[in-house]
Structure 1
Amino acid sequence: MSEAILLVGGQGTRLRPLTDSTPKPLLPLAGVACTTHQLLKAKAAGVTRVVLATSYLAEVFEAQYGAGEALGLELVYAVEREPLGTGGAIANAGQFLKGDGPILIFNGDVISNHSLEEQYRVHESSGAVATLHLTPVEDARAYGCVPVDDSGRVKAFLEKMDNPVTNLINAGCYIFDRSIIDVIPLNTVISVEREIFPELVKQHVQGYVSDDYWIDLGTPEAFTKASADLITGRAYSPALGILNMEYLANAAEIATSARITGGTFLDKGVTVDEAAHVHQSVILADSWVGSNAHVENSFVGRGVKIGSGIKLVNVAVGDGVEIHEGTTVSEGARLSA
């Protein structure tokens, strides 16, 4: 398994305003772009060549990664001029593949500690045409569920329901035989989850079930949690190694009476004033947190000014926003300049 397709074309509408100028997969987790975490995980599993399936702000990916030399990978870019859905994106990227062997395909908005090597072993030993990473969740009602038989073979792909028949869900990482990719129609909007997988079940789709750490980065709150989990050691990435820290600060200026807790990330040029408390949050470059401010489970963009005494809980703040002293910010607010 030397080639992969990374699906990074989504617009990240649920993360706005954070994604107004930055694609969701390039938002940082513990100071490192999500895409970098994923590329290095694939590399650690033996992948040497990755096709990035891009659409929204496609040019930003190539500007950041180029041909992949800095990561020790060969990177190529398959650009969708119009969004084609997950299946259409895979078909479009498939034109840039070179080999005939199994292809790793993974979503650009997931962080997982599961073993790609073990998923590949299951794929090879089962004789399946596709092998999916499946993860158990506490409440599967928000997801489509994926029941399997005693051998791990997938029986069906079921839409969201009030009483799921299993707590196993599609975790967004697949291994496909190359022949499957080659028959997906080109230039066609198609969903791999709703249209391709149900057809593949008629052949043989295998589930690789793992209860290792997994998170879907669909919301700002999920991004802040994943970043904190990487910093505190609950999650792992080859980009960072094993960490066990209360916070991670990149040349930030922190007052002696300020408290930084819960796996917070502070980017370069961040200033945190006296008696402020920042907990399980991400604060990007050149932002300022005033005295006695409280920032919790929040993602704060670049060049933001948070006035003295301000309280932010589960808030996403876009670049350049100024929150003046005395302002009341509702929990869960989304603030843009």
Structure 2
Amino acid sequence: MVIALILTGGFATRLRPLTLTKPKALLPILDKPLLDWIIEGVKKASIKDVILSVRYLSHLIKSRYGDGSTYNVNIRYLEESKPLGDAGPLRLAFERGEIEGTFLTIYGDVFSDLNLLDLINYHKKKGGIATLALAKVEDPLRYGVVVLDDEGKVKSFIEKPKERPPSNIVNAGVYVFEPEVIKYIPSKYPSKISLHLIPKLLEVGDVYGYVHEGIWSDIGVPIDYRRANYMALKKLYPNGYIDKTAEIGDDVEIINPAFIGKNVIVGRGSKLGPLTVINEAVRIGTSCRIKGSIVMMGTLIDDSVVIGDSIIGEKSFIGKWVRIEDGVVLGDEVVIDDEVFIARNAIILPFKEVTSDVREEGKVVL
């Protein structure tokens, strides 16, 4: 029986300010947390036993998922008392008797429609010590790059190559491991799967790659997080989605694909989309223009606001005639006063009130 170990304990510093108030795995993709999507994928593979490796803001994950009964899986928690890296929880799980046989390991920051059952069956057919799920990307320099032979065996694995990468096939952050891999994980923490474990496995056994051709994105930085939402939107709702409880005013223009969640109110004359996600209980005033953006749950946006290609955290308030340029990220419960201008790529930390223009591009407002 295969068990799924999902790694959710990281600090996710590159996603701040969003991750100052919640772990990365709880950031929403469309209308539900990323971890919900991952658990649903595990369940579709007929896997009932899930271990969540947790540390940073672990109470938020535990309070949402509990014992897993709401999700029709059995969830146990592996609490990290200190940072273990992404390989350390594998060893810890075995030392505590949580895992004995073949197991899945899934990064908690990956959004994908990968069929996990197909991956497991491929692993069993090949008979190797490990199988890596792989994806094709346009910018492989940011990832672990893999070269395969004609049989699907991994010939080389280069973590974030500094020079021209030998392929555009990269580590997708989902693995099937046999239990003997544990003896190749360093006993000293922290340790990394890509730096310490995979290179060693390539020396001692057969490691295979399974190339996934569908949706795949990590959410390591804000632009990746937006991209994951765009992918989900285009795949699941190419013609857009408006929840039946949403109230859409007169003369509102929606350019699809766009996602309008539960109990959203959009004032007359506003224009939304494309590639825009409006989460539950957001209220948008009249004559607003929002495109390419994610507006999280409970945010209030007053009249005549313009927001482009940005992320607005939960329960924020955006005053009248505010203009938010591309690439801005607001943490949760930010207040922006009327007529304020926010320059491109600015970052505003949670609970901050902004009373004057932010003219410097990329400025961090503490």
Question: TM-score, length-normalised on structure 2?
Answer: 0.85
Distance 2:51 2:95 in 1: 10
Helix, strand or coil for the counterpart of 1:151?
coil
CA displacement at 1:188 relative to structure 2: 2.2
Q: Structure 1: any 5+ residue segments left out of the alignment?
A: 237-243
**For each residue in 1:93-121, what CA deviation from the matched residue of structure 2 results, as whole angstroms up to 9, or x when unmatched?**
33455564310111000111222122112
Superposed counterparts of 1:87-98, under 5 Å:
87-95=87-95, 98=98
Q: Structure 2: any 5+ residue segments left out of the alignment?
A: 239-255, 353-366
Superposed counterparts of 1:169-208, under 5 Å:
169-181=170-182, 184-186=185-187, 188-202=189-203, 203-208=205-210
Question: TM-score, length-normalised on structure 1?
Answer: 0.92
**For each residue in 1:263-295, what CA deviation from the matched residue of structure 2 results, as whole angstroms up to 9, or x when unmatched?**
433233321111102223222233122222122
**For each residue in 1:217-239, what CA deviation from the matched residue of structure 2 results, as whole angstroms up to 9, or x when unmatched?**
01222222322332332699xxx
Superposed counterparts of 1:137-216, under 5 Å:
137-159=137-159, 160-181=161-182, 184-186=185-187, 188-202=189-203, 203-216=205-218
**For each residue in 1:34-67, what CA deviation from the matched residue of structure 2 results, as whole angstroms up to 9, or x when unmatched?**
1111011011011100110111111221111100
Distance 1:33 1:258 in 2: 27
For structure 1, which segment, 12-21 or 182-191, has the greater mean C-alpha deviation from structure 2 after superposition? 182-191
CA displacement at 1:16 relative to structure 2: 0.9
Number of residue pairs matched by the alignment: 330
Helix, strand or coil for the counterpart of 1:275?
coil
Superposed counterparts of 1:224-243, under 5 Å:
224-233=226-235
Distance 1:271 1:130 in 2: 48
Establish whether residue 333 from structure 1 lines up as the match of residue 333 from structure 2. Answer: no
Q: 1:9 to 1:41 in 2, by over 3 A?
A: same
Superposed counterparts of 1:1-337, under 5 Å:
1-95=1-95, 98=98, 100-159=100-159, 160-181=161-182, 184-186=185-187, 188-202=189-203, 203-233=205-235, 246-312=258-324, 313-336=326-349, 337=352
Distance 2:112 2:258 in 1: 21
Q: 1:51 to 1:96 in 2, by over 3 A?
A: farther
Letter paired with 1:170: N
Distance 1:138 1:321 in 2: 34
Distance 2:98 2:77 in 1: 13
Distance 2:183 2:61 in 1: 25
Letter paired with 1:15: L
Letter paired with 1:298: S
Distance 1:235 1:55 in 2: 34
Letter paired with 2:179: R
For structure 1, which segment, 276-285 or 121-130, has the greater mean C-alpha deviation from structure 2 after superposition? 276-285
For structure 1, which segment, 195-204 or 326-335, has the greater mean C-alpha deviation from structure 2 after superposition? 326-335
Q: 1:229 to 1:139 in 2, by over 3 A?
A: closer
Letter paired with 1:192: I
For structure 1, which segment, 314-323 or 179-188, has the greater mean C-alpha deviation from structure 2 after superposition? 179-188
Distance 1:169 1:189 in 2: 23
Q: 1:181 to 1:170 in 2, by over 3 A?
A: same
Q: 1:139 to 1:263 in 2, by over 3 A?
A: closer
Distance 2:342 2:191 in 1: 40
Counterpart residue number, 1:240? none
CA displacement at 1:318 relative to structure 2: 1.0
CA displacement at 1:211 relative to structure 2: 2.1
